[in-house]
Amino acid sequence: MRDHQPINIETHLGHIALFNGLGADEIGKIAKGTREIRCEKGETLFHRGDPCNGFHIVVFGQVKLSFTSPQGTEKIVEVISQGQSFGEALMLLNKPYVVSAQALSDCLLLHVAKSVIFDELERDHGFGRRMLAGLAMRTHQLMLDVEGYSLLSGKQRIIGYLLLEIPEGGPANDTVDIELPVTKGVIASRLNLTQEHFSRILHELVDLGLIEVEGRKIRIPSVSRLSSHQLR
């Protein structure tokens, strides 16, 4: 990546929900155990089996977490975007990474060392509760993913994904335009579909008049119609 100026780590940590309620002194202590990581698109952050010595926060960019089968098939577990974090659970368990992480775009991340987090956990029980709440939310999402893979058709998974991409507050009318945040191949893997199956379903939705596709841009002419179709 091009030359860059160092960021103010304390300022960025102060905007992370996990650190809400911490005073300047506490944020300063955590900042001392935090370092910048800048990755170019396609760069691997860590591999499965590498030691986990802390957790990461995405300042900007996107990172995919994935593993590869013995046959060489990649399965994307999660796409981490701006303001999100990953690695907390393995850090607490003192386990190596069970997935690999790769930058989907040029990224800036913060790596928070395990030692400063453990110090804060001993000092502030409220901090521990916030961390547990974040891990519980992620576990809940994982259960929803397993339910989707097990019980929902590919079409239902794709429609559900598109509906979740509608900006908060919803459209002013029943028509909405969205832009896919990552490539269709990444989304297909995230939804446990082959890229061919994913493309076939998109074409089917286009033929039904439920969506219009132009690259990553997708228009939903009627959100209510698309939502109703998901229930079929």
- 3 state DSSP class of 176: strand
Average pLDDT over every residue of 3-32: 85
* 32-46, 93-107, 134-148, 181-195: segment of lowest average pLDDT: 134-148
Helix (H) or strand (E) holding 114: helix 114-123
Q: Is a pLDDT exceeding 60 seen at residue 2?
A: no
Q: pLDDT tens digits, residue range 88-103? A: 999 999 999 999 999 9
Q: For the stretch 194-224, what's the b/e string if a residue is b when 16 or more beta carbons lie within 10 angstroms of its beta carbon?
A: eeeebeebbeebeeeebbeeeeeebebebbe
CA of 121: how far to CAs of 9, 118, 130, 211, in Å? 20, 5, 10, 48
Assigned token pair, 232: 């079929």
- pTM score of the predicted model: 0.84
Q: Domain locations in the chain?
A: 9-151, 154-230
- Written as six digits, the tokens of 153 are 């058709």
Domains 9-151 and 154-230 share a fold: no
CATH no. of 9-151: 2.60.120.10
Give how far Cα 22 sits from Cα of 26, 58, 130, 165, 231, Å: 6, 20, 12, 32, 44
**105-119 pLDDT tens trace:** 999 999 999 999 999
Task: Inform me whether the pLDDT recorded for 198 exceeds 80.
Answer: yes
Rounded to an integer, what distance in angstroms lies between the CA atom of residue 120 and that of residue 34? 14
CATH number of the structural domain 154-230? 1.10.10.10
**Which tokens hold the place of 34?**
């935090």
Number of residues assigned to the chain: 232
CA–CA separation, 29 vs 75, rounded Å? 37
Place 45 in a pLDDT band, splitting at 50, 70 and 90: very high
Any bridge partners for residue 217, and if so which?
Answer: 179, 214
Quote the tokens at residue 167.
């900006």
Contact status, residue 66 vs residue 75, Cβ threshold 8 Å: yes
